[in-house]
Amino acid sequence: MGLLTAAEQKKLPLLTHAEYGDENLGANELDSKLEKYVGPSNVRSYVELVRNRTRVKMAATTVTAKQKACDNLRADVETTRQETIDLRDRLGAFQVAFNEESRRVDELTADLAKRDQAHAVE
């Protein structure tokens, strides 16, 4: 294959820096860098280089988003664990209070039974 003709170059889409997320690389800079790679294999290499760089940035963004989600999940798990411990402590306190109240009811019931027996004997 030979060099790209002017007509073939016009058919190639002009990619801007916004499409690749690179604020430091403008359309003119892309053109000047593309001129360095005049042969078709070199053009393909430069395009692949830009695509690979874009894929790496996208992958890094995805990893960052996944890491953030993971951190949020860890925070939620820790919060839930703390709430579970608090609820378990409150349950223990309620059980102690219930047992004391139940013991008091049993004492009063036994005392009432003794009074009923004493009253029945009279």
**Torsion angle, alpha carbons of 37, 12, 41, 28, to 10:** 20
Considering the domain boundaries, does residue 119 fall inside one?
Answer: no
Hey, what are 97's tokens? 């209070």
Considering the domain boundaries, does residue 122 fall inside one?
Answer: no
Alpha carbon distance 74, 79 (integer Å) = 9
pLDDT over 90 (residue 106): yes
- Residues 76, 85 contacting (CB under 8 angstroms): no
Considering the domain boundaries, does residue 13 fall inside one?
Answer: yes
Considering the domain boundaries, does residue 64 fall inside one?
Answer: yes
Structural domain of residue 72, as residue ranges?
A: 6-87
Considering the domain boundaries, does residue 12 fall inside one?
Answer: yes
Considering the domain boundaries, does residue 16 fall inside one?
Answer: yes
Residue 54 burial (10 A CB sphere; 0-12, 13-18, 19+): middle
Q: What is the pLDDT of residues 9-48, one digit of tens each?
A: 555 555 444 444 544 555 566 556 655 555 555 556 778 8
Considering the domain boundaries, does residue 110 fall inside one?
Answer: no
Q: What is the pLDDT, as a whole number, of residue 18?
A: 47
Confidence tier at 61 by pLDDT (50, 70, 90): confident
Beta carbons within 8 Å of 1's beta carbon, 6+ residues apart: 40, 41
Considering the domain boundaries, does residue 97 fall inside one?
Answer: no
Confidence tier at 60 by pLDDT (50, 70, 90): confident
Which ranges of the chain would DSSP assign to H, the alpha helix?
6-11, 17-20, 27-36, 40-121
Number of domains in the chain: 1
